Amino acid sequence: MILVQETTDWTTPNHTYILDDSRQYMHGYIKQGRADIEMFKTPIRFSTRGRSFHFIKKYNGMMQEDVKHIVSVQVEGSKGNKYNVILEDSKSSCDCTGFKYRGECKHIGLAREMLLYV
């Protein structure tokens, strides 16, 4: 299974999903801005058509503890652009260009602040 964060540009909240390797079934998900993972008893059919995703990591049930500490947050930048930030205990990441080149950006700080209010 794999852990992916949705990065589709639409009005629906982008959650983080646990999908099987074929990306056709969802086994669970982490609600945007939340740290707890919800696993389904039976996988639900999932459609990736017209949506975009950011691959986070391979997931096997054994990593449940790790996953609990991953939070995905969407942050609005100063120009109104939306960035997807993933907060982990040890390392965090963002899909903006600043993070890509410098390995740090202000969105991660903003995401941490946002979490204080959810």
> By the criterion CB under 5 A, which residues form the site for Zn ion?
83, 94, 96, 99, 105, 107
Q: Which H, E and C letters describe 20-57, residue by residue?
A: CCCCCEEEEEECCCCCCEEEEEEEEECCCCCCCEEEEE
Integer Cα distance of 52 and 6 in angstroms: 6
Integer Cα distance of 12 and 74 in angstroms: 11
CB of 30 or CB of 111, closer to Zn ion:
111
Smallest gap, in angstroms, from Cβ of residue 36 to Zn ion? 24
CB of 29 or CB of 99, closer to Zn ion:
99
Smallest gap, in angstroms, from Cβ of residue 110 to Zn ion? 8
CB of 43 or CB of 98, closer to Zn ion:
98
